[in-house]
Amino acid sequence: MKTLNKESQNKITPEVAIDLLRHGNERFVRNLKINRNLLQQMNETSESQHPFAVIISCMDSRTSAELVFDQGLGDIFSIRIAGNVINEDILGSTEFACKIVGAKVVLVLGHSGCGAIKGAVNDVDFGHLHFITNKIKRCIPTIKQLNPQLSEELLCEHVTKENVLQGMKDLRTSSTILASLEHEEKIKIVGGLYDISTGKVEFFDA
């Protein structure tokens, strides 16, 4: 597979970018990863980079975006933080990736069995963890109000998806740059849920 350059990156639309991620995940699930020459890719990206996607995912050791979407060096910007929450540093990084470097899709990726989600649901707080859990907790009251009888496991599932939706909303409402790029159809902001037991990613819009 050829390493992306500026010309090939420019030809990728947001819809094609999503398809590239979807097909990559399908290869991952089927254990049919592309055979890449990583040394060659390293040499070819030593002067510049032209990734087609930004993936904001959890720091969980089981959710490496390059592996989950079967991508090589120079293909994606991978931003990782506990609970895949959005803060100012991530906003700035994403703006740089899309506005300056030319990435075509931003994927906010949650996952099953997320420790940050469980921590927020159980009101765990120590050190600086509240900076993460407080962002996630915004989702909990509405879910509990609509579904007061949910078990902890089901509550975590609902909060995981709602937290992704909230992250997508934060990107749009907190960054005029990203909102404008999406309005101009130069990028697309989407969500995803990764099942750590199957490797499958469910994509969705909002």
HSE toward the beta carbon, residue 138, CA cutoff 13 A: 17
Question: Which residue range(s) make up the domain with 30?
Answer: 6-204
Number of domains in the chain: 1
pTM, entire model: 0.95
pLDDT at 147: 86
Q: Is the dihedral of CA 163, 165, 169, 175 positive or negative?
A: positive
Low-confidence ranges of the chain (pLDDT < 70): 1
pLDDT at 28: 98
Q: Report the C-alpha gap between 103 and 97 in whole angstroms.
A: 6
CATH no. for residue 95? 3.40.1050.10
Is residue 119 in a domain?
Answer: yes
DSSP at 82: G
pLDDT at 200: 98
Is residue 1 in a domain?
Answer: no
Is residue 143 in a domain?
Answer: yes
For residue 55, give the 3-state DSSP assignment: strand
